[in-house]
DNA sequence: TATCAACACTGTCAAGTCCGAAGTATAGCA
DNA sequence: TGCTATACTTCGGACTTGACAGTGTTGATA
């Protein structure tokens, strides 16, 4: 940490930290997208996400939703109807994460179209 | 898209998009951390990243750096010395991604300490 | 009466990805 | 001659993912 360029000090403290639980979670397939999609479409059902993504496998989407719910980032509400209905939405206090991630997805998509 | 709560329209366009190349990349182990660590410590060497993370396997770090370099997010400079020296830094125009990701890592770390 | 559709998953197996440990190449130093 | 330093690569096994088929319930349709 001497003659290196450094954006700012707070970043220096956080950036190279070891894998934390949440980042581990976000590093799985479709985790980021799922989070943002739920934030945008909420309340959203399993089938809606499946068709929105188009190419997720049902097992992956299922376990991703399970992971995120278990981690407290999503809420799952099940209604006793036939056919069954399950709705997902962001947990009350996790909306902020989605707000941080959306620009990342925006960036990625913009890059996709320009490069 | 009728009575659903929607944060804003631009988010609705981007959030539930299918997996794009960049997001695919970021969804691999240590990709987000590597990007942010390079942004913070640049120019940074392989060994520095390895010790900074502490628990990455060398093979994973190696392939992650390769992925990010190949995708044009990182620059790799090799010097003909013994022992060898290789330096990584963010590509000129990719600094903005790191700026978007740092808050995500901050959020994750803060959550880690409060929960 | 038999079948089908709708929905939210779960189960299974093959393929891909990741980890930890050991190995590679090179030159200076003891 | 062996040790050190560096930036990787290779290998076998473990874990994750994808494709596809199946589950359970009830109302609608043939």
Q: Which of residues 23-82 of A touch strand C (CB under 7 A)?
A: 45-48, 58-59, 62-63, 65-66, 76, 82
Q: Tens digit of pLDDT for each residue in B15-66? A: 454 445 788 888 888 899 899 899 989 899 999 999 888 888 899 999 999 9
Query: Token pair of A78, please?
Result: 């099940």
Rounded (10°) CA dihedral A113, B75, B35, A63 = 60
Domains and CATH numbers, chain A: 15-114 (1.10.10.10)
Q: Which of residues 44-103 of B touch strand D (CB under 7 A)?
A: 45-48, 58-59, 62-63, 65-66, 76, 82-86
Give the pLDDT score at A82: 87
Measured from the Cβ of residue A45, the count of other Cβ atoms closer than 10 Å reads 14
Helix B46-53 vs helix B31-41: crossing angle, to nearest 10: 120
Measured from the Cβ of residue A46, the count of other Cβ atoms closer than 10 Å reads 17
Q: Tens digit of pLDDT for each residue in A46-104? A: 999 999 888 889 999 999 999 999 999 999 999 988 889 999 999 987 778 888 988 88
The chain-wide mean pLDDT, for chain B, equals 80
CA distances (Å), origin B36, targets A19, A29, A72, A107, B41: 12, 20, 25, 15, 9
Give the pLDDT score at B20: 59
Which range among A13-27, A82-96, B41-55, B85-99 shows the weakest confidence by mean pLDDT?
A13-27
Nearest nucleotide by C1' position to the A87 CA atom: C8
């Amino acid at each position: 940490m001497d003659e290196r360029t450094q954006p700012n000090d707070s970043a220096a403290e956080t950036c190279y930290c070891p894998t934390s639980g949440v980042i581990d979670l976000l590093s799985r397939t479709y985790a980021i997208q799922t989070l943002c999609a739920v934030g945008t479409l909420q309340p959203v059902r399993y089938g809606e996400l499946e068709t929105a993504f188009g190419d997720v496998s049902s097992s992956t989407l299922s376990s991703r939703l399970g992971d995120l719910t278990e981690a407290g980032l999503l809420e799952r509400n099940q209604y006793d109807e036939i056919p069954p209905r399950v709705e997902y939405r962001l947990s009350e206090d996790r909306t902020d994460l989605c707000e941080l991630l959306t620009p990342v997805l925006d960036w990625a998509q913009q890059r996709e179209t320009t490069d």
